[in-house]
Chains A and B, each alone.
Chain A
Amino acid sequence: MFKKLLLGSVVALGFTGSAMAETVNILMEGVPDTQFVKELIPEFTKETGIEVNLEVVNYAEMHTKLVPQLVSPQGSYSAIVVDFYWVGEFVKAGWMQPLDERIKADNFDTSVYVPALMDLVGQVDGTTYMLPFYNYAMGLTYRTDLLADAQNQADFKAKYGMDLKVPATWDEYLKQVEFFTKDGMHGVVNQGLRPDPIAMEWSNYLFANGGTYHDADWNPTLNNEAGVKAVEQYKTMIDKFGPVGSASFSFDEAFNVMAQGKAYSYITYNFFRTAYDDPSKSAVVGKVEIMPVPGPTPEQGGSLNGAWGWAIPKSSPNPDAAWTFLKWVESKEIAKKRALAGGSPTRTDVFDDPDLNAKYAYFPALKQMLLTSHNFPVFTYTPQLVEVLGRELSLAVAGEKSPSDALAAIEAEMAELARKDGKLK
């Protein structure tokens, strides 16, 4: 037995070393696109003769697994996927290989990517480190059947003096939330869990009120009218218009409330749109649609952008084979196949593809969402900023801090982090 184990360890060592260039090891987290990539891999192996070894871990634990690999001069993974949170950190620590020379040599066209995504998980200060893999921009998911109901329309008109329709502005949406909180229904469900669910969701509230995180010089701009309003609205949503306990909901709990037909709306990651139409998960098949989070005016959006990108780590044992895989997986053909299976694309030519628009009626809304979305501050300490936001917002929602006190605390820590990173002078 022991001999066999020792032998096994030697074989595994061979895999991790650079000797076997024909196997590409990739570390991924569980997102919908991961499964679609997995299903397409036999095509790649047939085309190139390169084997692909996909290792999937819990999305939230991936950073923990990745860091020792990246710190090490030589690691086990040929290619990895990178959340936008980590981009600043990974670049600062020098953990990713620049891709520009490979892109140039192979004439790989990066202009097809949605510009906001290329800014988020593609280029940093003019150097390309990643290819945008899939997006998780947030949108407003809402119940179309409730909007279309004649009785609701009449009641809404009588109460607010305006038509009940797809909301064009944030204020109009807030009225609808209040209106639909009746008869055991909730106007909204929130994901108030620390740190990323609440930080990500609240960012939409900030942008929808016309707020921003910082000015051009990285001075924090949160503790002002827009910021305070965003916190107050968020707290009101949870306390008055949402189900009990949404202050501790992760997106799974919140999605289930919506999928069980107990809420009118939920601001969440766009890939949940497909899940609403899955009858094994949802009681509201065909009754939920997605749109960009409405902004202060009909022209402005309030959506938060988010995405993962493919990268080749510095410690990659076989970067050339990894690049061959990246080129293939991000080609128009494969990107389209992934999107057809239900993935979240990053390429404009995929968004404009007639087959996809025929299959998914909400594709124009998704594209619009990306084009009007706002990026979260990306710098070395983004994950820490998310932690601070999560803690302070959670304290404000729990009523243990006033909105402006919480925002002042966030501003102070954010300024300190930005200063440490050399962004704020």
Chain B
Amino acid sequence: MRIKWSTILPHLVLTVFSLAILLPLVWVLRVSLTDKLTAYRIPPEIGHIGLENYVEIFSVYPFERWFFNSLLVALLSTAISLPLATAMAYAFARFNTGGAMLRLGVLASQMLPPIILVLPLFTLFFTTGLMQTHLGLVLSHLTISLPFLAWMLVSFFEGDSASLEEAARIDGATRWQAFIKIAVPVAAPGILAAGLLGFILSWNEFLFALVLSGASTQTLPIGLASMETHAGVEIAPLAAATVVSLLPVFALLPFLRKYLIKGLSLGALK
């Protein structure tokens, strides 16, 4: 009886939590299938149902361009920042590179409100021709993800893989091999989580993307925000756009299955 209870309780808690997250999103889905009039009807009515909002986000708004820009910038900045941050985090954790000052200094820029950084950043990008380009956006997002990812990852390298690495070094492995072949696999859960969060940081970044993007490089957050107009919020198309922009999560499901259940147990090997 006790054993059974302890397997059910987590599922119970997780179901309640998932519903708390999901129910608002279900309501967003509903709003995406109707019009503004029905969306605000109280008590709720079935009202009008249709797919016009989904058509509208592609015909009136350049949704596919926003989406593509966001995906490109977020993927590229993660692809660049994850290996770089992993290497820096390892250096911090294992060799105490630069000491506490460097570690704090790297993070310090992120403690300033971005609004203060945006004017000089604009000047810098304009003079180097990076203004309104994808590359410029990627670089600006690197300045956010590199420090955070490095900090997240330091704690994953400070576990007890050090002794494993030493053993490997005695067996003749180079420093690089010890890093790549032992430290990285042991820290894999952390690296995956950091990669995910790095993608999310870039995907949602607003202020740099607002100031540094142009008509052809506008990202999803800037585009979606433009649906809040001087004549009110285009809430129904906005809901449709939100739904479409969440679909990639479900494309991740097979990946998650593989890495959450099999991949994460890598860490337990040690």
Contact = CB atoms under 8 A, between A and B. Distances in A.
- A–B contact with Cβ pairs below 8 Å: the answer is yes
Nearest to A73: B126
Interface stretch (B164-172, B193-201, B227-235, B248-256): B227-235
B37 A12 contact: no
A330 B233 CA distance: 27
Interface in A252-280: 252, 255-256, 259-260, 269, 271-272, 275, 279-280
Contact of A9 (B37, B42, B136): B136
Given A30-B227, A58-B226, A281-B35, A72 B135 contact: no
Nearest to A66: B211
A90 B228 CA distance: 25
Given A30-B228, A280-B35, A72 B132 contact: no
Contacts of A256: 36, 40, 232
Given A136-B230, A252-B232, A76 B222 contact: no
Interface string A379-421: 0000000000000000000000000000000000000000000
Interface residues of B, number: 43
Interface in B57-72: 60
Interface stretch (B84-92, B102-110, B140-148, B213-221): B213-221
Interface in B75-126: 76, 115, 118-119, 122-123, 126
A68 B122 contact: yes
B228 A60 contact: yes
A260 B47 CA distance: 13
B129 A10 contact: yes
Contact of A5 (B134, B229, B232): B134
Contacts of B130: 9
Given A13-B129, A74-B126, A59 B136 contact: no
Interface stretch (A49-57, A150-158, A172-180, A214-222): A49-57
B129 A9 contact: yes
B212 to A, nearest CB: 9
B230 A59 contact: yes
A24 to B, nearest CB: 11
Contacts of B225: 57-58, 61
Nearest to B217: A12
Tell which of B115, B122, B232 has the most Cβ of chain A within 10 Å. Answer: B232
A71 B233 CA distance: 30
Nearest to A38: B60
A64 interface: yes
A266 to B, nearest CB: 12
Interface of A: 1, 5-6, 8-10, 12-13, 15-16, 25, 29-32, 34-35, 53-61, 64-65, 67-69, 71-72, 74, 76, 136, 251-252, 255-256, 259-260, 269, 271-272, 275, 279-283
19 contacts: A5-B133, A5-B135, A29-B226, A30-B226, A30-B227, A32-B229, A32-B231, A34-B229, A60-B228, A68-B122, A71-B119, A72-B126, A256-B36, A256-B40, A259-B37, A259-B40, A281-B35, A281-B36, A281-B37
